[in-house]
Amino acid sequence: MRRWLLCVWMFTMPDDVQFSPANAMALQAGSARERDVAIAIRGLTKTYPGGVNAVRNIDLDILQGEMLAIMGKSGSGKSTLLNLIGSLDKPEAGSVEYHGVDLRRVVNLPKFRREEIGFVFQLHYLLPHLTLLDNVALPLFGQAQARARASSALAEVGLAHREHHVPGAVSGGERQRAAIARAIVNQPRVLLADEPTGNVDSVTEEVLLKLFESLRAKHGMTLVVVTHEPTVAARADRIVHIKDGQIERIESKGNPTAA
Ligand code: ADP
Ligand code: MG
């Protein structure tokens, strides 16, 4: 229930403060190193009330355009880490920078999040009474061309023929594809996914993986995917193994390790 409310909040949050021009400029500027590193994480730490050290002093550079998988046992801190990276949760210590912009300095975080980051969860969190088109248009808040942009996002995930269906009238795989369309409708540079194939069969998993790969190839998106599935992790450039809130090791497919 909390997750549902969080999602509705995320996709409907109005802008109440202006986006800082300094941040916008820093996003466009940036040194060569900052252009290579999409997300720089330093000393990231989160302790929940009750004393659970869910994320402990994590340092990690996520490279522009890479697919990074995060693996680890249940309770190891993967979702907490992803939520901190996505600014859905606040760390007690440490920082997350997007292309040189420290999240702590962003004035309008909901706007930044909506424009820079797409989120996909294990459950689709589509609103049941809205058509897929209206669900995907939701993050655009009635902007001009919202429906046209939602329509093209749905076409991109192969659901042009399902626009006017409600979530209950399409398959589980199609619902997850619609959730991906909603995540990319604002053309974010980063897509964060928490067990996106956790609820689907292996055929649908392959469809979703191909879709992620094509989004990456077409738009140069940076993908961070929390997964339990070795079949999903095998498609990543690097696999970060998390244990007890810390990076245990990083597997790389020949690319330089940046942790
Ligand atoms: P994973 O996604 O790897 O299963 P989580 O990040 O969900 O792990 O959880 C990491 C640890 O933090 C677990 O011990 C979990 O019980 C605890 N935890 C997660 N969310 C909360 C919360 N809201 N309040 C208190 N403890 C939490
Ligand atoms: Mg989790």
Domain segments of the chain: what residues? 2-252
CATH number of the domain at 2-252, out of 2.40.160.40, 3.40.50.1240, 3.90.1720.10, 3.40.50.300? 3.40.50.300
Instruction: Name the 3-class secondary structure at 24.
Output: helix
Q: What is the pLDDT of residues 73-95, one digit of tens each?
A: 999 999 999 999 999 999 999 99
Q: How many angstroms separate the CA atoms of 124 and 138, rounded?
A: 14
Nearest ligand for residue 46 CA: 1
Per-residue pLDDT tens digits for 128-145: 999 999 999 999 987 889
Residue pair 150/181 in contact (Cβ under 8 Å)? The answer is yes
User: Quick one: which atom of ligand 1 is closest to the CA of 77?
Assistant: 6
Q: Report the C-alpha gap between 127 and 207 in whole angstroms.
A: 23
Ligand 1 centroid to Cα of residue 230, in Å, is: 22
Both structure tokens of 165: 């269906």
pLDDT (tens digit, 9 = 90+) per residue, 152-171?
A: 999 999 999 999 999 999 99
Average pLDDT over residues 222-228: 96
Pocket test for ligand 1, best of 1, 44, 48 (most atoms within 8 A of CB): 48
pLDDT at 258 over 80: no
Indicate the length of the chain as a whole number: 259
If one compares 57 and 12, the residue with the highest pLDDT of the two is: 57
Task: Give residue 216's Cα distance to chain centre.
Answer: 13
CB-based pocket (< 6 A), ligand 1: 48, 50, 52, 54, 72, 74-80
In this structure, the residue with its CA closest to atom 13 of ligand 1 is: 75
